[in-house]
Amino acid sequence: MSRIGRNPIEIPAGVNVTVNNSVVSVTGPKGSLSREINPKIEVVVEGSTVKVLNNNTETQYRAYHGLYRQLIANMVEGVSKGFEKSLNVNGVGYKLAQQGQDLLLNIGFSHPVVVKAIPGITLSCDKTTIKVAGIDKELVGQFAAKIRDIKPVEPYHAYGISYTDEVIVRKEVKSGKK
């Protein structure tokens, strides 16, 4: 039995969880999310908790047990609090600007790069920081990774786009002949 899958999920006030066949729907103050789960994994809503049950002993379904429990927990947290990722932009002459919901990045290319916001994602920026926010943890993380891939950090001067909590390993510059 999965150690993560055993833990019940607490439902905060204002959040509603419904299970219809193999579709789990979560509705809260920030929006609603739904996800289809494997029919062999059972989801039970009891009062203010959600329990994910697995009666299979196969390795694949033991793994699904913890996976679906965590996916449902992320849905509950997303519709109640939301998720946010921060990215730092570092470089000489690099500029960020917001155009409506989109971002305009001048990051060392011969042309400005426009990052268009997708449904479910909110973008904001200040001088050197980009914030990606939304209710779907998977979507927020994937979109932040897509922005980071536009200009990855180079190891000599640390110019580029990186996560705020990312540790950048710097390389030593060649010192010449000895």
Q: Which of 129, 159, 151 is nearest to 171 (CA)?
A: 159
pLDDT in tens, the chain (178 residues): 568 888 999 999 999 999 998 899 999 999 999 999 999 999 999 989 999 998 888 888 888 999 999 999 999 999 999 999 999 999 999 999 999 999 999 999 999 999 999 999 999 999 999 999 999 999 999 999 999 999 999 999 999 999 999 999 999 887 777 6
12 and 73 belong to one structural domain: yes
| Burial class for 170, CB neighbours closer than 10 Å (0-12, 13-18, 19+) | exposed
- Does the residue 174 lie in any domain? no
Amino acid at 145: A
Look at residues 58, 80, 102 and tell me which one is the last residue of a structural domain.
Answer: 80
Q: How many folded domains does the chain comprise?
A: 2
- Does the residue 169 lie in any domain? no
57 and 107 belong to one structural domain: no
Q: What is the domain extent for residue 124?
A: 83-163
Q: Which of 149, 114, 117 is nearest to 133 (CA)?
A: 117
pLDDT number for residue 63: 87
- Does the residue 55 lie in any domain? yes
**Residue 155 belongs to a domain with what CATH number?**
3.90.930.12
Tokens of 41: 């994994």
Please list the helix, strand and coil fractions of the chain in percent, rounded to the nearest 5, in that order.
20, 40, 40
